[in-house]
């Protein structure tokens, strides 16, 4: 999930128009953002990269083993043969679609966006209808998604216009 979100952020930051290289560029952006080269050098240097190592690093870096494998290859820590062998091992174990559940970690709960939404409702005078008019969600879905209480604050008399 983190890699996918970072990948999409890469598109937002770098791409205005489609290009043949845009997927590779978004992947490179996500890799650099979530797994910085200097820290990855410490994680991979002078160690044999195995499925066991990738499994051990997964909870620490909170990305899929496959993302770690791609990063290791991209930083030059694997030969083509080693890379191919590890991908074959991942495929043989059925981990391409679902990595071992014992390595799963709890999904992170975003807090900044919820705080921004609550500030719009309580401090800036927006109504729930104002906000749900901006997104393709019904009010109950919006309230559940952003952890809003059933009693949304009443609209204040003053409103900040930007």
Instruction: Give the confidence band of 144 by pLDDT, cuts at 50, 70, 90.
Output: confident
Give yes or no: residues 140 and 90 share one domain.
no
Q: How would residue 41 be classed by pLDDT, with cut points 50, 70 and 90?
A: very high
DSSP string over 74-142:
HTT-S-HHHHHHHHHHHHHTTTTT---GGG--PPPPP-HHHHHHHHHHHTS---HHHHHTTTT--HHHH
Q: What is the pLDDT of residues 73-131, one digit of tens each?
A: 999 999 999 999 999 999 999 999 999 988 888 877 778 888 899 899 999 999 999 99
69 and 128 share one domain = no
Separation of alpha carbons 11 and 28, rounded Å:
11
Residues 21 and 89 in one domain: yes
pTM to 2 decimals?
A: 0.70
More confident residue, 59 or 151: 59
More confident residue, 122 or 153: 122
| 88 and 128 share one domain | no
Q: Which domain holds residue 149?
A: 109-162
Instruction: Tell me the pLDDT band of 152, cut-offs 50, 70 and 90.
Output: very low
Q: Examine the domain organization and report whether 128 and 88 are in the same domain.
A: no
User: 83 and 60, same structural domain?
Assistant: yes
**Rounded Cα gap, residues 155 and 34, in angstroms:** 39
């Amino acid at each position: 999930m983190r890699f996918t979100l970072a990948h999409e952020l890469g598109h937002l930051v770098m791409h205005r128009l489609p290009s043949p290289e845009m997927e590779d560029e978004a992947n490179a952006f996500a890799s650099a953002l979530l797994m910085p080269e200097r820290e990855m050098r410490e994680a991979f240097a002078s160690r044999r990269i195995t499925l066991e190592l990738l499994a051990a690093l997964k909870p620490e870096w909170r990305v899929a083993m496959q993302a770690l494998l791609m990063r290791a290859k991209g930083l030059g820590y694997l030969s083509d043969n080693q890379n191919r062998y590890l991908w074959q091992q991942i495929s043989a174990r059925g981990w391409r679609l679902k990595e071992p559940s014992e390595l799963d970690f709890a999904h992170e709960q975003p807090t900044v966006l919820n705080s921004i939404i609550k500030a719009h409702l309580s401090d800036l005078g927006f109504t729930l209808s104002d906000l749900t008019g901006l997104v393709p969600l019904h009010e109950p879905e919006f309230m559940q998604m952003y952890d809003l209480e059933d009693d949304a604050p009443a609209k204040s008399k003053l409103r900040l216009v930007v």
